[in-house]
Amino acid sequence: MIYTSMNWQKEMVQEIVGEDYAVHSLIGAGKDPHTYTETPKDAARIERAVAYFYIGAGMAWEDRYVNVAADNGVRSLDLFHGAGIEPYTGGCAHEDHDHGAVDLHVWTSPWNLTAMAGYVRDEMKRIDPSRADDFDAGYDRYVYGEGGTKALELLATEKLKALADEKAVEGEELMLVVWHGSWGYLLRDCGIDQHSIEGLTDPAFGRVIGLEELNHGEPFRIFVGTEAERSNASKAAPGCETVLVNPLSGNWLDALGDAIGKISEGLIEGEH
């Protein structure tokens, strides 16, 4: 039995290890890791696992489960550092995790997913060398299969990076306006700025400060991850369209492909 922190990890690990291993996530699809609270039941699950794949971007509850795993001889595997992900520090802050230090949302970049899948494959070979060929095959399905991470890298390059490169030649930049800063890794890898307005609301008027300075004063789209965020954004930025793109969706590779398409239609000229 293998445990992961989040559902997108479960999907990745399950594809790589195949059906001979049962893979479970502590947090299901659509659930927010910022609001998760560890439980004795989940700690007991970690104690019985063969391995615990965690994100490794500074979530306090993950660190506590790593200690539980260590106390019980369970291997804890840090996807963020193990895969050599370059930190993105332009996110946002929560009580349990300071995104200003390292952004949690590493799974929004297909390039990160490819790197982390390679780390999972290699670590599983160390855990169970007899099934190395199976893990290679699972990695190939996840990365090179139809709708896999390499296809998503190509899609992001064509839909996002190519646009950013064209603007760069003209001395311009592209920006995506979001409520909560969840898409920094994808946008950074494509040369696009992320502009989060979640913390820019004037408490006296309930409106986002400096909104009129974006997009030359013309209406633009604000990307939100939940209906609650949509409600907040609509109140704080009246006149702007909101687009729901949930970074916690299940069937993550499919969802990421859809997100890339929507994001490509909502970019505006950045500040320069």
The answer to whether residue 149 sits within a structural domain is: no
Looking at the structure, do residues 44 and 125 belong to the same domain, yes or no? yes
Looking at the structure, do residues 117 and 173 belong to the same domain, yes or no? no
Looking at the structure, do residues 208 and 133 belong to the same domain, yes or no? no
Looking at the structure, do residues 6 and 129 belong to the same domain, yes or no? yes
Looking at the structure, do residues 18 and 71 belong to the same domain, yes or no? yes
Residue carrying structure tokens 């409520």 = 179
The answer to whether residue 110 sits within a structural domain is: yes
pLDDT at 116: 98
The answer to whether residue 177 sits within a structural domain is: yes
Looking at the structure, do residues 112 and 205 belong to the same domain, yes or no? no
Looking at the structure, do residues 112 and 246 belong to the same domain, yes or no? no
Closest Cα partner for 104 from 90, 120, 83, 118?
90
The Cα 8–Cα 220 span in angstroms is 30
Read off the pLDDT of residues 237-272 as tens digits, 9 standing for 90 and up.
888 999 999 999 999 999 999 999 999 999 998 764
| Residue range(s) defining the domain that contains residue 48 | 2-82+91-144
Q: What is the pTM of this model?
A: 0.93
Read off the pLDDT of residues 95-150 as tens digits, 9 standing for 90 and up.
444 444 689 999 999 999 999 999 999 999 999 999 999 999 999 999 999 999 99
Number of structural domains the chain divides into: 2
Read off the pLDDT of residues 57-96 as tens digits, 9 standing for 90 and up.
889 999 999 999 999 999 999 999 999 999 998 755 444 4
The answer to whether residue 206 sits within a structural domain is: yes
Looking at the structure, do residues 246 and 182 belong to the same domain, yes or no? yes
The CATH number that applies at residue 170 is: 3.40.50.1980
The Cα 48–Cα 61 span in angstroms is 18
Residue 179 φ/ψ region, left for φ over 0, alpha for ψ in the -120 to 50 degree band, beta for the rest: alpha
The answer to whether residue 181 sits within a structural domain is: yes
- What confidence tier does 205 reach under pLDDT thresholds 50, 70, 90? low
The Cα 163–Cα 133 span in angstroms is 39
> Residue 231 in contact with residue 240, Cβ under 8 Å?
no
Looking at the structure, do residues 236 and 119 belong to the same domain, yes or no? no
Looking at the structure, do residues 127 and 227 belong to the same domain, yes or no? no
The answer to whether residue 151 sits within a structural domain is: no
The answer to whether residue 161 sits within a structural domain is: no
Looking at the structure, do residues 124 and 12 belong to the same domain, yes or no? yes
Backbone angles phi, psi at 145, to 5 degrees: -70, 170
The answer to whether residue 158 sits within a structural domain is: no
Looking at the structure, do residues 134 and 95 belong to the same domain, yes or no? yes
The amino acid present at 138, given as its one-letter code, is G
